[in-house]
Every structure is written in structure tokens, then in C-alpha cells.
Amino acid sequence: MASHNEVYELRVTGKENNMNDIANRSPHHNTASNEKVENGSKQRMPLIGPRGENLVSVTRIRRLFNFPQIFAFSLTFMSTWEGMNTNMYFALYEGGPQVFAWSILIVYFGAISQAASIAEMASTVPIAGAQYHWTYHLAPQRVKRFTTWMQGWMTWFGWVSLLAGATNITAIILQQLVMLNNPGYVPQSWHVTLIMVVMLLSQGVVNSIGWMFAFVPWLELIAGILHICLFVVFLVVYTTMGTRHSGEWVFFEHQISSGWTNTYVAWNIGLLTGVWSFTGFDGAVHMSEEVRKAKEAVPRATFWSLAVNGVLGYAMVIAILASMGSMDDVLNSVFPVAAILLRVTGSVKATTAMICGLFIISFWATLTSIASVSRLTWAWARDGGLPRWFAFVHPKHLVPVRAIWLSLIIVMLISLLNVGSTAAFSAITALSSFALYFSYAIAIASMLFTRWSSVHGGRSLELGAWNLGRYGVYINSFALTYTIYCMIWLPIPGTLPVTAVNMNYAGPIFLFVFFIALFLWFVRARKHWEGPNVAIIDFIKAQE
């Protein structure tokens, strides 16, 4: 048997193996035998890996999603146009309409190059671990174990932080709905925590019970349709009701309210509104092992969901700016989108109905986030980054129950920070974009290294069916440059003078987590961690 540390070549994706879908098999059938078709003959796959693990117990999931469903999953999770409504404050605060209108366009082109690069790698090896798996295959031999270890930890922490932030936004939307309809209500930070915990518990149950989760692909398809329909509703309301600003005001009005006197700095900090709204497009990739024909469906869903969301998001930005009224009124409001809708519609009921739509989409985005982060947790556990106990897949429900609840419990504990200090909670959630951009940068840089090596005779690079072809090196280079550029600005404080409350903690928290991973590397992983479990990759490929 080949050593676990053997370097596996990336193979060109052709027709997928003609096998019955694992979704139609019982777990008992899987434990009895597992066969793959190769060169027209069936070969029995080993059920026990080189590390002595039961491969079935950590891979017995169902391929529930088809392409339209995983596309809707990714479309709804990103919720870009909804994010423009709920996150507009920061861009307006840093430079007004000019920053909001132009920065989103720049971010869109940068993010689509990232998505294309990630989709290309997903076409080769569609697996729940995603970025850290690809880095292990593509990075230089001498550093690939260390790079993969650090990237795995940062990606996992980033996704846990992203789930905390997504749940927090959903809870705040619900709290704002209560405030809108009950003027006497006094919001408290612990109310947000309570809403978060209730949401996480209910969504955790849906993710954990097999027959409930079997409905999720269909519910996501409905949510994706609702995502498009609500976009049309918001766009029509913004563009046909109320007074409107001129095109010159929308694209060129500039006003800095953050305290920064350097326009260049303020402009780039305002750009981060778009960065946050386009982060997490790899969510569909972490669901790869539950997608039919994953090598085709996952890269298409990853790329096209971002492409579509970007168009919808930019159209929404222009519509918001044209109808928003006084920028000072918007910046001084508790919830800017509610203030704009109230001004435009003149109706509390109409505003309530539209914000309810935002809440529904945000609620489903949180549900998809739980699914994605739990699959990443599960993958990282079966590869030895986390205790392997969390890699277990329930034999009845066919979902990684332990990984689901580990992720949820961590986020619930993080939510308790809101009770004492919203600044402390914000410090943790600030990690998400920085950590995920770090993971994108490492994976894309590794791909560029392999491309360069293949040209200069160092190693071979064989790609999947969804690939960037001869333009790959240019798209990867642009994506990497854009990613690193954004990472420069992600830890910069958004307000001057800096206080403990308005401090941007993304940098310090990132370094804290980075040094935890580094400590674990030197204490244990450097000598005992072999890297991602390649036997599992082969086992998963045999199920396609």
C-alpha cells in the first residue's frame, strides 16, 4: 500500500464513475462493501484506512443536492443584495455614495476572480476540507504540511466566526422589527444573545436529524427563488416610490464621517463593505461530498452564484443610493434600511413586510452557514486537525452530528460576549473576513506555484473539466493580488480617534489564533500530524 504521505497527482476530470448514488444506499450496505469502477472492472476499496480508522464511519453521508439546489444554496448563503441593505452604513460612513457605488464594482471583479480560482480547484478535488486540501496537493513539498496545518486552522476559525456574525445579523434584524412595531421597546444586548441561542438550537435540530435535513435542498431551492423575487420587490420600491437623487450625486457625492482625513485610507476602508458581502462563496465547496456530480456542479455553483449575486448586489446599491434621501438621516438612524424604507413607502406595515423578507433570507443563510461550517469541522477532524471523535457521521441520520454541535456550542459561547460587551463580540467576529481571505490567498498562491512549476518542468498539473485554461495564470495572479490588497485594509480601524469600543480587532484576533495554531504545530503536529487523510479522498472519489 502506498504511503499516506504519497503525493497524489491531480487528474483530469472526465466522465464520473457509473455508480449508484450513495444517497440510495443504507449505511449497512456501505459497511458490507464498497466498489469503484476503473477501466471497466470493479475493484474493492479498503474500508479501513492506513491510520486504522473506519472510512465508512466518517464518510457515510448522502448526496442530496443536485446542481440547481446547490446553486440556490450558494446564492442564498451569500445574500449579496440583502447584505447591501443591512451593511450599507460602513461604506457611507467612510466616504458617502461615491465609495459605496464604486467600491462594490471593484470588489465584484476581485471576488469573481477569487471564485473562479476556487471553482477551478473544486473541479479537481471537490471535498469538504476545500482550501487546506488543495494546498496540501499544490504547495511546495517542503512546506506543504506546515502550510496546510496553519491554513486548516485559520479557515476553520474564520468559518466559525462567520457563523457567529451571520447569526448576530439575523438576530439584530428581528430585534429591529420589534423596535419598528413597538416604539416603547428598549433593546438590550442580551436580547440579541437570547435570539441567537434560540435560532442556533432550532437550526441545529434541522441540520442534525436526517429526515429534516433531507428537505434542506428543496427548502434552499425555494429560498433561492425567494431571493430573486424579493430583489425585484425591493428594486421596484426603491426606483418607483419617493424622490430620487441625481446620477451625479449617486456616483460622485463624497462625504467622510469617520474622522479619517486621508481620503485614500477612508476610501479603502469603505471598500470593506463589499468585501464582507462577497466573503464565503466557498460555502458550496464545503458541501461537495453531499452534491451529485460534484466535479461539475460545485464549481459551476461557486462561480455563477457569485456572478449573479454581484449583478443583483450592484443594482441594489444604485437603487438604494438613488432613493435614500438625506445621508445624515441615514447615518443617524439605528437601522438605515428601515429608515430608507419608511421614507420611501411612508408605511410602517410595508416596511415591516419588506424587512421580514430580509429576515427570512438571513435566517436561511444562517442555516446554510451551519451546514457549511459543520462540514468543514467534520473534514478537519477526520484529517486530524481536531479530535477525530468529531469526525463521526451518525449511522441513522447520515450527518456529522458531533461536528454540527461543536460548531454551534462554540458560537453560542461567543454570543454570550454580547451580554457583557458588544465590542468583545465584534472582536471575535472581525476575524471572519481576514481569516477566510488568508485561506483564499494560500490556496491560490499554491495553485500559481504549481502552474509555474508545470511550465518549468518541476511537476505536472492536470485540471478538472471546469478550468481557466490558458488564462488561469492571469486570473490567479489578479485574484491573489486583490486578496492581499484587501488583507492590508481589513485590520485598519474604521473610526478616528480609536477607542476600545470602535477598535478593529481583526488583526489582533487573527494573530492570536495564528499563534495558537503555531503553538499546536510545534507541540504536536510537527512530528505527529501526517497531513490530510488521502485514503479518505480515494474513498470519497469511489462514491461518485
Task: Tell me the C-alpha distance between 225 and 52, whole Å.
Answer: 45
Q: What is the pLDDT of residue 227?
A: 96
Q: Is residue 2 part of a domain?
A: no
Cell, residue 265: 485610507
Q: Is residue 249 a contact partner of residue 97, using CB atoms and an 8 Å limit?
A: yes
**Residue 16 domain-assigned (yes or no):** no
Report the predicted TM-score, pTM, of the whole model to 2 decimal places.
0.87
First-to-final CA distance of the chain: 22
CB-based contact 426:451 (threshold 8 Å)? no
Q: Is residue 328 in some structural domain?
A: yes
Assess if residue 193 is contained within a domain: yes
Closest C-alpha among 312, 306, 155, 314 to residue 232: 312
CATH code, domain carrying 325 = 1.20.1740.10
**Contact criterion met (CB below 8 Å) for 25 and 61:** no
pLDDT at 52: 55
Residue 14 lies in a domain: no
Q: Is 242 left (phi over 0), alpha (psi -120 to 50) or beta?
A: left
Closest CA to 301 of 464, 486, 78: 78
Q: Identify whether 9 is part of a domain.
A: no
pLDDT at 422: 75
Give pLDDT, residue 361: 95
* Spatial CA neighbour of 56 closest among 34, 80, 24: 34
Dump the DSSP string for 58-125.
GT-----B-HHHHHHHHHHHH-HHHHHHHSHHHHHHHH-HHHHHHHHHHHHHHHHHHHHHHHHHHHH-
The whole-number pLDDT of residue 534 equals: 79
Report the chain (544 residues): mean pLDDT per 10 consecutive residues: 36 34 37 43 52 59 90 94 92 93 96 97 92 92 94 95 94 95 89 95 95 92 96 96 90 92 93 90 93 94 96 96 91 92 94 96 94 96 92 90 96 89 76 93 95 78 89 96 95 89 87 95 93 78 65
**Predicted local distance difference test score (pLDDT) of residue 27:** 37
pLDDT number for residue 21? 39
- HSE-up of residue 401 (Cα within 13 Å, Cβ side): 12
Instruction: Report the half-sphere exposure of 388 (CA within 13 A, side-chain side).
Output: 14
Give the total number of structural domains in the chain.
Answer: 1
Q: How far apart are CA 119 and CA 306, in angstroms?
A: 11
The pLDDT value recorded for residue 30 is 39
Domain of 421, in residue numbers: 24-536
Within-domain flag for 542: no
Residue 282 lies inside a defined structural domain of this protein? yes
